[in-house]
Structure 1
């Protein structure tokens, strides 16, 4: 092991549009426990130039990826930008590193880059807001709804707060388990979540709602966006009256069931418009809108612009 880096060294590749908070997780976790020999970090970019984050902040790096020694572990931090044709040299470098034995860890949008390089694992943890776009671009790769996937040759993390769990799990697997407890305590983590836990918080976590009938009703809505159920059908399926269901929604979510259901469908349509090339008409149909005008009107009333304008903005037009 390098005497200058007794805990080893992780290289971190910053891609355009990466999230500052996720880079910060790596810095804060690995610098928080002075008593342990944890991995040090070497920050790299495709060409050695500063990289602009999703927040617009320019971050300097230590060197270019190809100029650094081949790393044992490389974190690939990405945002919403996906690989383009002129990114082929970087994708080739990633493929060469994998061939040489580098362990690749994709975070958030980094999964798109590994998939584009032909390096995706059989199952990939993709942030739920990017899952539809990933499925469209890489239909042969299984999208995992877990917080992260971690194996001996690499891993993927959906990003956000899950990156702390991912890093702590990786540290434990690499022989740094004694440091993980103090690190989690310093970060005020009640526990380190397992990779197989779901990304999206349960309704009771989001709103403090503990009523299982309400949770069941919302889960029915989420799983029936293309062919929406009526309020009466939902009430019957969770075994309460319509009036009881409406009271639960007003108490915990401050809206009637039909309005909450409509918002779920519109939010889903917004993700599809922004992240996929699915036709606008098909997006509307897949979210339970029977006609183009109905979809356009509901979308404009909720978001203040039409579905067509939403897609144009997402493409930078």
Structure 2
């Protein structure tokens, strides 16, 4: 295959975006051009107003241009992460997104990018996904979106992926569509060592039964299930469940469940102004004091210290 012109992508990162997600999308495009010897893809970074943005790890990214100055793109790629709820709220953001969408042939949301798209009315009646940790909240917030737990989703001119691995898979699909299976395979082998273990899971990360167990844990964050109930839903014995967690994730099932709840508590601490006792209730801890102790051990800081550090 030899496309007549380069496929033009405009990446639109928001503050709090993941460096890993962005790199997992851009680097395969670079590799496809290098390996093929052709300028199959061209890309640029745009932001609202042309301002620099900071990643979730604090790295600053300078924009090539302002979103408002983009005249056309084959794909507008929205990359969002922490802070997405607040970022999607302003009417001017939603208006800018709708205007930009009219100038792009397709929209792609990476990590929490689909949240921005949905809030801007760009996913009505469409299938979409976000980072697996926020999947339930996404479904509850946007009832007009057909939310699915797939690694990535392609619904005509609307595409979405929820993690760095999924973002790379979605970009490899784009490379395959534009330049064929051989090039997509050559690019993938530069970044992914595809073991038999990885191929077992649809997402490339977890085996099916373990993935089912994790989804049940995520569904019951507020009222944690007994591990026996989790193992029953996963279709394995309690002992086998624990062995799966140790083998694939390196921790016990109970420890992993606890980490999920604490990670949700951390997200609520960053994204909302909920008092600690309410966060504790939302994440299955018996009291604010119990949450505070576990939070300090897990993250090395208190919720108050975390909030002071993220609101500067």
Change (3 A) 1:111 1:310: farther
The answer as to whether partners of 1:107 and 1:159 remain within 8 angstroms in 2 is yes
Q: 1:151 and 1:216 mapped to 2: Cα distance?
A: 24
- Report how far residue 95 of structure 1 moved: 0.7
Change (3 A) 1:232 1:160: closer
Give runs of aligned pairs for residues 9-48 of structure 1, distance below 5 A: 9-32=8-31, 33-48=35-50
Unaligned runs of 5+ in 2: none
- Report how far residue 127 of structure 1 moved: 0.8
Give per-residue Cα distances to partners, 1:217-274, cap 9 Å, x unaligned.
Answer: 877766654444557777899886x8x6899599768877665554444344333443
Instruction: Specify the SS of the correspondent of 1:43.
Output: strand
> Residue 266 of structure 1 is aligned with which of 254, 262, 268?
262
Aligned to 2:83: 81
Q: 1:148 and 1:239 mapped to 2: Cα distance?
A: 27
- Report how far residue 6 of structure 1 moved: 2.0
Q: 2:203 and 2:173 mapped to 1: Cα distance?
A: 16
The answer as to whether partners of 1:10 and 1:41 remain within 8 angstroms in 2 is yes
Is 1:197 aligned to residue 174 of structure 2? Answer: no
Instruction: Specify the SS of the correspondent of 2:37.
Output: coil
Give per-residue Cα distances to partners, 1:196-218, cap 9 Å, x unaligned.
Answer: 9348x33x69xxxxxx8x99987
Normalising by the residue count of structure 2, what TM-score does the alignment of the two structures yield? 0.72
Give runs of aligned pairs for residues 52-131 of structure 1, distance below 5 A: 52-82=54-84, 83-84=86-87, 88-100=91-103, 102-121=105-124, 122-131=126-135
Q: 2:165 and 2:37 mapped to 1: Cα distance?
A: 24
- Report how far residue 126 of structure 1 moved: 0.8
Aligned to 1:7: 6
Instruction: Specify the SS of the correspondent of 1:274.
Output: helix
Unaligned runs of 5+ in 1: 206-211
Change (3 A) 1:278 1:149: farther
The answer as to whether partners of 1:7 and 1:38 remain within 8 angstroms in 2 is yes
Q: 2:242 and 2:75 mapped to 1: Cα distance?
A: 52
Name the structure where helix makes up a greater proportion of residues.
2
Change (3 A) 1:174 1:151: farther
Structure index of larger Rg: 1
- Report how far residue 124 of structure 1 moved: 2.2
